[in-house]
Chains A and B, each alone.
Chain A
């Protein structure tokens, strides 16, 4: 049976995963420079060894309303067509190997922006692993902000 590897991470009570092939690296909490007037899902810019990386607040991107933990978020650096982008998450989990037999489309209970981002769920023993579409996860609506 076909298996896939996912880099898992936590956001509130959710266990989420991104295709491990798309993850460049994980960076500990780092100084983030906010970008005023940018869309709210953009938390700011970080310096990744001399490269500018945009940090995206995945909690806002998913439309989660639970309060973020007190600890600063981790940076999950994801490869994209252009420059790498950082997804800010609460904590990093393990890399899990899952088989496609336990995969199902997104549960009906999932609503709001998360529905577009979640590809589906793997029914793991005791909990669900929601996998994200990495391209959509890093996409930002590029409407100019109100002046």
Chain B
């Protein structure tokens, strides 16, 4: 491979920047074809590239840019007006130039392709077409004022004569600025001059930049060093606590402050505005809209939101994919939009903002939204889920199916977004950098995708816990809350201690995972105390039982060596203040390993409808119930909203059925047991759309997670069939059927009034 000259390299870097600017300029120009500044900027950029490549002997590149420059110069003089075809041709030229530059970078020469078609088009467009001929001599658009005097005159603050007078005074050797002279002469007020200066700054291109190029590798090394420094600082602080020496303490404090500032500073050098990625989207959206015959307006909000460079790189492709999807599948063709009573032009909105140490990015469109039925159908067709399960999913769950691997709703594979990469890849890539993605769709109204990602990856705030005598760090992004139970409360709070416990967190069931047991190390907590760290893994919430919680601190994430390949429950390790190593838990992987990701739940009662019991061999978390002396029954835990105890006296009768007053509503009860036992009723509550149904059982046995395969289809109403759970025959209840019998309106859409 040809070794590139430093000077050629410089040319390449500069040209790529110019081309990026061109993309932006063209899209603006299409909206405001008369914007002379932009036209001039485009002309200059192409002219520079042309001139330099002539110098290096890149003949093909020069030939192409030369034709482009001719066309541009006619646009600049107003001989031609910028329109769609011209913009497309010029953008085509930008792409060709970019491709040639890439070839130069790789091979040292400008490639084999001459782009004859493109050159022909560019040449042809230079001849004004009759329809395009500018009817009257173009009125020069008001050029933005260039000097302070012009601004003041245009604002009517001074007369040209007064300006001339002041300029003459400067010529005679007055060192004062023009504004100062005018103020001195009492011609204008200081405020007017200040305003004028601001106006001038706004209209002028950014002042000569004060930045330098720095190798990213160098920044990475700096970041690593700062990480080391943070560790050394933490160690020193711990050491200082044991030393009684005022001077030493002061020095440590100072070091502490400086380290923190340095850390922030170095982190800032790696921060880039998200606009760097977004800048390419106007072009992407424009090309796409043109290709699919749609009208799409892109709105961007929060371009200046900053995040770490590595993260910017990581979200670039997923974001592009989402934008393409929205423009291609989300926004409808203009005729359809009009027919639906929407403006013909669709709006694609990008929004970014900081919140709680994270960056939120929202991509929303006002398109057709996602049709949950179509998604269900597609998922079943592709064999991703069973038809039975699809039927039982609520709409929100169904729309989330688009994140499944192998799913793509594009009915026709277009050259735009049907390229084999699906939303599952988008989701994986975002989760890889510790982010989450959430989808909201309102059929007919549009779709919103919300992405949350951390600001940086290298140093993260974490909660330090102990289990089995070792410390583990849990990244704070996953942390929801801490629950501590002691004494009798602990025994009462955690139910069915047999490997798969649950805790009733404010009435909702939280599956518990014992960290020590999960890792296979002996726990060392007081048996009477239970400390639960409530964590979020994707859509799921679970409680991690640990021996103790120590504190939160900033930790430096260090990757584990290749020897730990395949060990997914740790995302790395860190060195603590005392110099010992602590492992960092990977919360989603831990949840996966512990099997709490089996069903969607914990989305609030409205969403936890009595749903999926599939007949296939799927892994499920089941609540095992006891009825009569020896019958065992099971329902999917995901369908259960709450467990309640209700005194028998509270049971009333209405319309021939047993009911109780529950949270301001009347809740019908379904009795599974033959003869009521004494004492309070054990009630399993199912809730959906504001309605509740209670299932009365005798005992609540356990929560277990297991592959469920129905052995014998049920012959009795309300029973799907029997399964063997924990070596006992257990009836799998048809929750839907049972509830429908008690409350026919339970699954029906809520009736108004």
A contact residues vs B (CB 8 Å cutoff): 31, 33-39, 42, 44-47, 50-52, 54, 56, 82-83, 85, 138, 140, 142-145, 147
Name B567's contact: one of A33, A85, A144 (CB within 8 Å).
Answer: A144
Residues of the A chain whose Cβ atoms lie less than 8 Å from the Cβ of B575: 47, 50, 52
Tell me whether B520 and A45 are in contact (CB under 8 A).
Answer: no
Contact (A83, B470) CB under 8 Å given A33-B582, A35-B567: no
In order of increasing CB-CB distance, the 7 nearest A-B pairs are A144-B566, A36-B519, A33-B581, A140-B563, A142-B565, A45-B581, A54-B561
Can you show 7 pairs from A to B with CB atoms below 8 A apart?
A36-B521, A37-B569, A47-B575, A50-B575, A52-B573, A54-B564, A144-B567
Chain B residues contacting A38 (CB-CB under 8 Å) are 563-564, 567
User: How far apart sit A59 and B565, CA to CA, in the bound complex (Å)?
Assistant: 22
Q: How far does the alpha carbon of A50 sit from the alpha carbon of B583 in the complex, in Å?
A: 14
Q: A36-B521, A52-B573 are in contact. Are A47 and B580 (CB under 8 A)?
A: yes
Chain B contacts to A: CB under 8 angstroms: 228, 231-232, 468, 470, 519-521, 558, 560-570, 573, 575, 579-583, 593
Q: Is the CB of B470 within 8 A of A33?
A: yes
- Identify A31's interface contact among B565, B570, B579, B593, CB under 8 A: B579
Across the interface, which residues of A come within 8 angstroms of B558, CB to CB?
51-52
Shortest distance between the CB of A39 and any CB in chain B (Å): 8
Chain A residue at smallest Cβ distance from B583? A35
B519 proximity list for chain A (CB < 8 A):
36-37
C-alpha spacing A143/B568, complex, angstroms: 12
B323 to chain A, nearest CB (A): 36
Which among A42, A47, A56 is the interface contact of B579 at CB below 8 angstroms?
Answer: A47
Chain A residues with Cβ under 8 A from B468's Cβ?
Answer: 36
Give A82 to B559 CA distance when docked, in angstroms: 12
**Which A residues touch B573, using CB under 8 A?**
33, 45, 52
Residues of A within 8 A of B566 (CB): 142-145
Note all chain B residues with C-beta closer than 8 A to A85: 561, 563
Contacts of A47 on B, CB cut-off 8 Å? 575, 579-581
Say which residue of A46, A50, A51, A142 sits within 8 Å of B563 (CB atoms). Answer: A142
A145-B567 contact given A52-B573, A82-B562, CB 8 Å threshold: yes
| CB pair B232 A36 closer than 8 Å | no
Within 8 Å by CB of A33, from B231, B561, B562, B583, lies: B583
CB B235 to nearest CB in A, in angstroms, measures: 9
* Other 6 A-B pairs with CB < 8 A, given A33-B470, A35-B564: A33-B573, A47-B575, A85-B563, A142-B566, A144-B566, A145-B567
A52 surroundings in chain B (CB, below 8 A):
558, 560-561, 573, 575, 581
Whole-angstrom distance between the alpha carbons of A44 and B563 in the complex?
11
Q: How far is the CA of A42 from the CA of B581 in the complex (A)?
A: 14
The residues of A that contact B228 with a CB separation of less than 8 Å are: 50
**A34, closest chain B residue (CB):** B470
- Taking a contact as CB atoms under 8 Å apart, the answer to whether B563 and A42 are in contact is yes
Q: Is the CB of A31 within 8 A of B580?
A: yes
Could you tell me the distance in whole angstroms from the C-beta of B473 to the nearest C-beta in chain A?
12
Residues of B within 8 A of A50 (CB): 228, 231-232, 575
Interface centre among B560, B564, B568 (most CB of A within 10 A): B564
- Report the nearest B residue to A44, measured CB to CB: B581
Q: How far is the CB of A66 from chain B (nearest CB, A)?
A: 24
Q: Which chain A positions have C-beta within 8 A of B570?
A: 35
Of B519, B561, B564, B566, chain A has the most CB atoms within 10 Å of the CB of B561
User: With contacts A54-B564, A142-B566 known, is A147 near B582, CB below 8 A?
Assistant: no
